[in-house]
Structure 1
C-alpha cells in the first residue's frame, strides 16, 4: 500500500473518494459533505482550517481508504479543548499552532476516522492495523514541517485503544450523553421505562410546549425549500449571536448539503401559529441520528428539549434507528434518557517536556471524568 496527501477533495475527485469509502453510510464520510465545507468557504483560506486528506491506495493506485486531517491555526470548532496547552506553549515562547487534527470539522461525533470500503462499518479488527500505520505517517509529516502536535478526535473506543501501547501518544477521555434504542415501540412505550416521577416530568415538558401554542414538524432535507433553509440559518446564527460570536458555517454550506445529501438530513421546525420560531438540524444514516445545530428566534419554556431531544427520539423510533448522538456536553440530556458515554481522543505532542506534562494532565482529568461518568449514571430516569 501507499499513501498520498491532498489539500482539496476536488484533487481526489468524487469517483475516487466514493470508491475509497465504498458503502460507508456515515454522512461525515461522504464526498458531498467535505466538498460542501470547501465550496462554501466554511474551511480554507482565512478560516484557520486547511484540509490535508490522506488517501491510502494499493500499488495499482486503486483507492483503499481516506483519513480527513486539517492543519489548524486555532482550536475553535473542535470540542476537545486544548486552549490551556496552547497557552502553556506561548508562556514558554514556543509555537503550538499550526497543529494537525484528524477529525470531522465542527462535528463532535464519535465515529470512524479512516473511511474505507474494506470496513464500511468501522468494526473489522483485521482492518484496524491501518490506524497506527497512518499515525506514523502523520508523525513523520509533522516532524518534516516542525508542527507541535497532531490530534485524533472523537475516535471509536476500539480505535483509540489501538494506540494504548504507544507511550509517545496520549489518551484523553471526556463524557457525552447518547440515547440508545432498547426496542422501544413508540414514545409511550419509551416513557413507560421511566420511574413514575421522571415519566410525569417528561410528559409535562412536552405538554407545556403544546400548551404554549407551539406545533412542530419534521422535514427531510430533500423536501426543504430555500425559504426554510434561510430560516434555519437565521436560527443557527442566532445561537452564536447570543454569545457575541458568529457561526462557523456559511449559508452556502447548508444549501449544498440539502442539494447533495438531502436524504440524510432532517429538520425540526417549531411554529407559533404559522410563524416559524425555532429549528433543529440533524443528520442520519442507517443506524444513528446526529443532532448538530439548533437555534430559536423566540424563547419558549421547554422548547429546546422538545425540538432537540424528544423529536429526535421520535424520529429514531419511526425510522428504526438504534442510536441518537445529540452533540457534546449537556447534563440536562440525562433526565430525557440520554446515557453517559466516554468519548476518546489520541494526541501526539512532539516536545518531550510538554508531552510529559500534558500526559500527567490527561491522567488526572481521566480520573475525574470516570467519577463523573459513574455519578451521572445514578441520575438516569429509568426504573431501577
Structure 2
C-alpha cells in the first residue's frame, strides 16, 4: 500500500457509518432497527463468512458517545484509529480510547499501574482498544476482507504510533478474536490469556437434548433449579426488536441500577443509552424479562450475533431462589438452541456458571508496553500467568457437568 494516512477521530460522528460497518462486520449490513442481514453475493467462499458482532457496529459505539457514557468526565476519551488509502477511502480502523484509569475493562492491570507509578513512572493515559464496559470477544483490528493480514499488521503498528503521539504509556487490546490476537503478537505485543464461561451448542435440537448430555446428578440439579425459579407464578418473556418498549427499558434500567450500585458503585451506562440501543440495534437485542402477576421483577439484557448470544446485564427488584440462574443462564441456552446459535458468552467471571452447562474457555488480550523496564517485568509475569491460566482452565473443565461417556448415565 504505497500511500496511506493514519488519523485519530475524537468521535465516530464524522465517520461514514457504512464505511465503518464494512470493516467491522464484512459481509453484513445493519438494517432499520438494528437487524443484521448477510449481504447477497458478498464474495466470501462457502463456509468462511465472517460472523456478525453487534458490539463493534457503528450504531453501538456511537450510541455510547451520544449518551455520554464515554467522553468527557468518564475517563474514556475516543481516539478511534482510522487508516485511509491514497483516495481517502477507509481501509482499516480500531475502536480506541485514551484512558485515565482502568475501570470498565475486565482485564485487570491495576498491579502494573501501581508498580510503575511507585517506581516513578506515569502509567496513565493509556490507549485501550476495546468495546467499553463489554467483556465479549469480537473484532478489534477492523480490516474488512483482509486475506493476507496486511491491514491488520498496519493497524497494529499504527496503534503504537498513536500511543506515542498521545503520550500514552501502553496499548491494550482486549477480548480478541484469534486473527487479531495473532497479528498483535506477531507485531511484538505481549500475549495474555484468561478464562470465561461459555455454553457451546453441540447441535441440540431442543433444551431436552442439552439436558440429556448432562450427568444424571447435574441434570436433576438443573431441573430443580429451573422449577424453583419459576415456582412463585413467575414467567419469563423474550423481547426482541419492536417488542421492546420504553416501558420495558424503564423497568430494565431499574434492575441495572440496582445491580450496578451493589456491585461496582457507579453504573457505567445511563438511561438514554438504552433508548438509543432499542432504536438503532433493537433487532440485535434480546431483553429477557421475568414477571410476577404481570409486574416486571427481573431482567437480563443479551445481544444477538450471527453465531453467539452475548449475555451482558442482569438485575432484579425481588429476590427469588435461582431466578438469576434461570434468567441469565438457562433462558440464554434455550434461546441459543431455539435460534441455532453456536454459543452463549455469559460475561466475565463466575465459576458458578460451570455447573449450569457452561465450560471454561480461553480469552485473549495483547499489550504493548512502551517503557523497557516495565515491559520486561510484565512479560515475565505474563509468561507465568499463561501457564497458570491453561492449567486452571483444564482443571475447571474436568469438573464440567457433562457426561464423561455419552453411552451411559454418569452419576
Name the TM-score, length of structure 1 as normaliser.
0.94
- The separation in 2 between residues aligned to 1:162 and 1:113, in whole angstroms, is 11
Which of residues 99, 113, 116 in structure 2 aligns to 1:89? Answer: 116
2:40 is aligned to none
1:14 is aligned to 17
Which of residues 150, 157, 160 in structure 2 aligns to 1:139? Answer: 160
Question: Secondary structure of 1:10's partner?
Answer: coil
> Is 1:113 matched with 2:140?
yes
2:379 is aligned to 359
> Deviation of residue 111 (structure 1)?
1.7
Flag structure 2 segments of 5+ consecutive residues without an equivalent. Answer: 29-51, 405-411
Residues 1-384 of structure 1 aligned to structure 2 (within 5 Å): 1=1, 2=4, 3-21=6-24, 22-24=26-28, 25-118=52-145, 126-166=147-187, 168-243=188-263, 245-384=265-404
Contact 2:81-2:159 within 8 A present in 1 as well: no
> Deviation of residue 184 (structure 1)?
0.2
Question: Secondary structure of 1:176's partner?
Answer: strand
- The separation in 2 between residues aligned to 1:360 and 1:315, in whole angstroms, is 42
Contact 2:141-2:155 within 8 A present in 1 as well: no
1:214-266 deviation per Cα after TM superposition (whole angstroms, max 9, x unaligned)? 21111113311111101101101100111361210111111001001111000
> Deviation of residue 185 (structure 1)?
0.9
> Deviation of residue 158 (structure 1)?
3.7
Question: Secondary structure of 1:86's partner?
Answer: helix
2:48 is aligned to none
Contact 1:101-1:151 within 8 A present in 2 as well: yes
> Deviation of residue 165 (structure 1)?
4.4
1:123 is aligned to none
User: How big is the alpha-carbon RMSD for the aligned residues of Structure 1 and Structure 2?
Assistant: 1.5
- The separation in 2 between residues aligned to 1:117 and 1:282, in whole angstroms, is 25
- The separation in 2 between residues aligned to 1:107 and 1:199, in whole angstroms, is 31
1:300-355 deviation per Cα after TM superposition (whole angstroms, max 9, x unaligned)? 11011100011111111111111111101111111111111111111011111111
Q: 1:94 to 1:323 in 2, by over 3 A?
A: same
Q: 1:241 to 1:255 in 2, by over 3 A?
A: same
Contact 2:56-2:138 within 8 A present in 1 as well: no
- The separation in 2 between residues aligned to 1:244 and 1:140, in whole angstroms, is 34
- The separation in 2 between residues aligned to 1:222 and 1:246, in whole angstroms, is 30
- The separation in 1 between residues aligned to 2:144 and 2:151, in whole angstroms, is 13
- The separation in 1 between residues aligned to 2:360 and 2:263, in whole angstroms, is 27
Flag structure 1 segments of 5+ consecutive residues without an equivalent. Answer: 120-125
- The separation in 2 between residues aligned to 1:253 and 1:343, in whole angstroms, is 27
- The separation in 1 between residues aligned to 2:82 and 2:247, in whole angstroms, is 38
Q: Tell me the matched-pair count.
A: 377
- The separation in 1 between residues aligned to 2:393 and 2:366, in whole angstroms, is 19
Question: Secondary structure of 1:85's partner?
Answer: helix
Name the TM-score, length of structure 2 as normaliser.
0.88
Q: 1:38 to 1:165 in 2, by over 3 A?
A: closer
Select between 340-349 and 235-244 the one with higher mean Cα deviation: 235-244
